[in-house]
Structure 1
């Protein structure tokens, strides 16, 4: 199956380094980032899990839980965590899903149905498509999907930036321009009339008839 923005995130139960979870129940009433890895003990993924651990407080400030998944058993995850800390200096305290039967990878469209039902004997190349990031909102809808090749480490600062935008635009009738960062000007959406824009945002700049900019709303 293909996962698209605004789809309901597929629910599942799985073993993790924090015990058995039901995914929707684990998310609760906040946000979540599910990020996947093709194999344990691989170099790029080792740096990524450490980078995510180093940013855990930043995600927590945004009411975002983080959870990793790799197509390997949970016992291997526990051994891998020691290597991650050695390589990056960060301890992985967030849960890691063991997807040994490939169920979650298939559920999220990262592996085809004919991929089999076991991680045994599979190489990182066999799982190369298990390299996606899913941002999920409190409504359990998919808000963002990013997929990367195995040789390109992910930019988790970009994921934080995107979450800032998604959370802001969920509250206010605004959009964010290219390369936007927290605190910069935003775009007033077409659904807001000029009169309503003045009421909502005060002054604004009309760059083009369809492009109006204003200060980032508070809150």
Structure 2
């Protein structure tokens, strides 16, 4: 697949037509975190449930200073008409307004540049459509996380919210989050931090799990 972004790459400062007008991506992001997520097609079942869930969770993302923006190979006109279906699916008034914009990439320029096309899924003309991609960008405009799902599997936007919470915490504190971690649970002390420094950094205490190897690398502390 041509194009694509790697962790640490800066987001391209593209211009695009969207459901809120023409944008320049860096200006849209400002100093916020950002999530750019693509879907295969408008007026399709899995995509409707995904964007419906994203709309429901939009206030939670906003609390974390995260801006959402969607993308597919459909036109702005289709995006606006489909938004009514998404709102109706959510039990809301069927308006054209969603809490985030959707990019019109009908020429596939961005999908190619960002490596979003799924060669296994094609439209009625035999052209590949966009996969279910998630890019999370930090306030520095650099890629912090990427997720790629096929067209047949819907994403878990609650998991995306959880991951963003972890990314923001670990960007500010010298900790890592363990398997299945949720906001408010204990976190792990980075193995590169010496024991005495860890005690000073984490006044709530550092708790070490004893292991057969005798190595003291499983260190927990309450979430800072």
TM (normalized to structure 1)? 0.90
Query: Partner residue of 1:150?
Result: 151
Confirm whether residue 195 of structure 1 aligns to residue 193 of structure 2.
no
Match of 1:34 among 6, 11, 36: 36
After TM superposition, the structure 1 = structure 2 runs for residues 66-105 of structure 1, keeping only pairs within 5 Å, are: 66-90=68-92, 92-105=98-111
Query: Partner residue of 2:20?
Result: 18
Q: Which runs of 4+ in 1 moved over 3 A?
A: 119-123
Shift of 1:122: 4.2
Confirm whether residue 209 of structure 1 aligns to residue 213 of structure 2.
no
2 CA distance for matches of 1:209 and 1:108?
A: 41
Once the two structures are superposed, what CA deviation does each residue of 1:27-58 show, in whole Å capped at 9, x if it has no partner?
00010111101111111001111111111100
Shift of 1:191: 2.6
Contact 1:49 1:92 in 2 (8 A): no
Shift of 1:120: 8.5
Shift of 1:88: 2.3
Query: Partner residue of 1:139?
Result: 140
Contact 1:30 1:137 in 2 (8 A): yes
Contact 1:5 1:141 in 2 (8 A): yes
2 CA distance for matches of 1:195 and 1:188?
A: 12
Please list every run of 5 or more consecutive structure 2 residues that lacks an aligned counterpart in the other structure: 210-214
Contact 2:11 2:137 in 1 (8 A): yes
- 150 and 120 in structure 1: CA distance in 2 versus 1, 3 angstrom threshold: closer
> What secondary structure sits across from 1:94 in the alignment?
coil
> What secondary structure sits across from 1:147 in the alignment?
strand
Shift of 1:11: 2.0
Contact 1:50 1:89 in 2 (8 A): no
- Number of matched pairs: 210
Shift of 1:130: 2.2
TM (normalized to structure 2)? 0.88
| More deviation, 162-171/89-98 | 89-98
1 CA distance for matches of 2:183 and 2:223?
A: 8
The Cα RMSD (Å) is 1.9
Shift of 1:150: 1.4
Once the two structures are superposed, what CA deviation does each residue of 1:60-116 show, in whole Å capped at 9, x if it has no partner?
00000001111011111111111111222256231110001111111111138x9xx
> What secondary structure sits across from 1:84 in the alignment?
helix
> What secondary structure sits across from 1:153 in the alignment?
coil
- 195 and 122 in structure 1: CA distance in 2 versus 1, 3 angstrom threshold: farther
Please list every run of 5 or more consecutive structure 1 residues that lacks an aligned counterpart in the other structure: none
1 CA distance for matches of 2:178 and 2:137?
A: 22
